[in-house]
Amino acid sequence: MAERALKMGNAEPAQILMADLAQAGRFPKASRETAAPRSARASRVRGVLLFLACTCLPVATAAAIFKAAIAFKTQEREDALQALQDEESVLRAAMDVVAGGSLCFCLPVDSDGEVAHTALLEPHLPESGLLKLPDKDVIPGIRNNSLTDLFVGKQSEFSLPFNFIHFALHRSGSLYRTFMSHPSPKDSSPLRTPTLSLLYVQRSSGASVLLSGFAVPITAPEYRRHYWRNAWAVAIPEGENSAEYVLMKFVPVSLQLHLPAACGAPQAGPEGAVTLRRFVSDSEVKWIFSVSPSSSKS
């Protein structure tokens, strides 16, 4: 009996030890009475956090996007206004539009002074200086090519942005017929009204450049070869030796730059456009404002 009592007495401390371990969180199996309330409370906290995230995240994202859009528009307008400060900045901005993947449309003026139709062109980039090419083959028996043009061709000392532009027309096409409908300057008084315009439109920004002036056909074989572009083969499959290939040299006399971001600015007016004209005197040729920015502000 004493031995059994001793065993029973030893069992009671073991139960006390197990209870202490469970209460301290070290025992493998926690009681359901303590686990259930904690699990429910954690679920409620997770639910509240998820609700707050779903509610606040779209609002914060929209606010960030709106703030970025406002900053972009503000910077775009500042850049546009800076581009209209003087002739040089206007010419640089115009070249950015022309060379920035713009679409180019040819707007020929008919004999009545109307633009009857338009056509998409793939002209060369505007050139500032005149290129002088040799009349004969540099190496006898070998036709001149782009490599000989690079080493033998000479650029004129005079330079003017948007001095001229080369493009191609199909001799049997309506554009060339419209161009030929104008009287020749040799047979009448000098032309004063531009007979041709090239409109460059930048699809990404909506900016545009409108060049208006005069065009003349170039018949010299070396220049027809030098300026031929493979992209023109779509309209003129026979290539540079085809009789249907007409190389045109376009000389702009006015340049209008339109920047949507500058709409309403004093120097740009409600349409966000400024116009330059080619000024020619005995001593210089340059681009100047058709209407000075100071006059437009007043």
Query: Hey, what CATH topology would domain 86-297 get?
Result: Pnp Oxidase; Chain A (2.30.110)
Please give the pLDDT value at position 190: 47
Digit-coded pLDDT (tens) for 2-34: 454 444 455 566 666 666 666 655 555 544 545
Mean pLDDT of 263-290: 85
Q: How far apart are CA 185 and CA 248, in angstroms?
A: 16
Q: How confident is the model at residue 165 (pLDDT cuts 50, 70, 90)?
A: very high
Does the CA dihedral 177-178-181-184 come out positive or negative?
A: negative
Mean pLDDT of 168-192: 73
> What is the pLDDT of the chain when averaged over all its residues?
79
Please give the pLDDT value at position 5: 43
Burial call 126-139: b when 16+ CB within 10 Å, e when fewer:
bbeeeeebeeeeee
Are the C-beta atoms of 212 and 252 separated by less than 8 Å? yes
Please give the pLDDT value at position 134: 85
Mean pLDDT of 35-39: 57
pTM above 0.85, yes or no: no
183 compared with 140, residue with greater pLDDT: 140
Please give the pLDDT value at position 181: 78
Please give the pLDDT value at position 29: 53
Digit-coded pLDDT (tens) for 80-96: 777 788 899 999 999 99
pLDDT of 294 over the 60 cut: no
Q: How confident is the model at residue 261 (pLDDT cuts 50, 70, 90)?
A: confident
Percent of the chain surpassing pLDDT 90: 38
Q: Domain map of the chain by residue range?
A: 86-297
Mean pLDDT of 201-211: 92
